[in-house]
């Protein structure tokens, strides 16, 4: 059975509800994982998402900041959330799909502007977050699991518009890339999107609001990811970025990433 999973940093779910409906109309995902919902749990648009067909929901929200959610047309069980790096920020929710596939949804801290953990506490938090994730996943057997979300790191040279110009910019620095690669290696994860789309191809999921014409300048970064465990990689059939969503009315600065997987 082919499952279609979408992940999207919507940068406020209430502002982006029309766009979520458009995503459903155009791509018809079975599961939508959202980041930066920016709403407390009791104000999450539960009924609106259910009306779109997503009656199963695992949410972990926070007023005005962060927030993650998994909205599904299929049974979800074992719904949980977890805090990282000494904070109670809503950045991780996870559950099981039909009690057989574990699904993690993450929103990794952006890290501020200065890539120096001694001078920038936000960057320090980001590195600690990744370190704790690595330790946690290292103690687990990588089996039938999917990890999605805004990981706020563009690890490859062609995941940014200019490797040379962004090498010292937060989200593409060597220390962040090394931390992400260590998490992937120790946790037994495989980048499902780059498994299908060659590393030689430019691929972005985020374009700054500061650009007057994001499409013309195309100064993007691939910050949003879908990973799977090795036992699922052969089941991944298709993956793509819905980059047109960046140009929809009242857009998020991120575009959805979608994967088809045979479960």
Domain ranges, ordered by start, for the chain: 2-262
Walk along the chain (263 residues) and give the pLDDT tens digit of each residue: 899 999 999 999 999 999 999 999 999 999 999 999 999 999 999 999 999 999 999 999 999 999 999 999 999 999 999 999 999 999 999 999 999 999 999 999 999 999 999 999 999 999 999 999 999 999 888 899 999 999 999 999 999 999 999 999 999 999 999 999 999 999 999 999 999 999 999 999 999 999 889 999 999 999 999 999 999 999 999 999 999 999 999 999 999 999 999 98
Architecture of domain 2-262: 4-Layer Sandwich (3.60)
- Return d(Cα 217, Cα 232) in angstroms, integer: 36
pTM for the model stands at: 0.98
Place of tokens 């499902």: 192
DSSP symbols for 70-130: EEESS-EEEEEE---TT-----EEEEEETTTEEEEEEE-----S---TTT-HHHHHHHHHH
For 28-55, b/e burial (b = at least 16 CB within 10 A) is ebbbbbbbbbbbebeebbbeebeebebb
- Return d(Cα 97, Cα 99) in angstroms, integer: 5
């Amino acid at each position: 059975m082919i499952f279609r999973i979408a992940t999207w940093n919507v940068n406020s779910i209430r502002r982006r509800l029309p766009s979520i409906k458009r995503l459903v109309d155009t791509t018809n995902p079975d599961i939508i994982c959202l980041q930066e919902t920016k709403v407390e749990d009791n104000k999450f648009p539960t009924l609106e998402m259910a009306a779109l067909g997503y009656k199963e929901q695992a949410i972990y929200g926070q007023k005005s900041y962060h927030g993650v959610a998994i909205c599904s047309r299929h049974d979800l069980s074992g719904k949980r959330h977890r805090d990282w790096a000494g904070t109670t920020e809503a950045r991780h929710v996870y559950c099981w799909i039909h009690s057989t596939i574990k699904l993690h949804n993450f929103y990794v801290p952006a890290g501020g502007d200065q890539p120096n953990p001694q001078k920038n506490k936000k960057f320090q938090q980001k590195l600690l977050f990744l370190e704790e994730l690595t330790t946690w996943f290292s103690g687990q057997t990588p089996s039938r699991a999917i990890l999605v979300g805004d990981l706020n790191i563009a690890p490859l040279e062609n995941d940014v518009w200019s490797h040379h110009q962004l090498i010292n910019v937060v989200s593409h620095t060597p220390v962040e890339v090394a931390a992400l690669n260590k998490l992937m290696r120790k946790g037994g994860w495989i980048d499902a999107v780059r498994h299908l789309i060659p590393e030689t191809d430019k691929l972005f999921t985020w374009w700054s609001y500061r650009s007057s014409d994001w499409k013309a300048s195309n100064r993007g970064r691939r910050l949003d990811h879908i990973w799977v465990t090795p036992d699922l990689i052969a089941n991944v059939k298709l993956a793509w970025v819905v980059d047109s969503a960046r140009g929809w009315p009242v857009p998020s600065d991120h575009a959805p990433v979608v994967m088809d997987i045979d479960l």
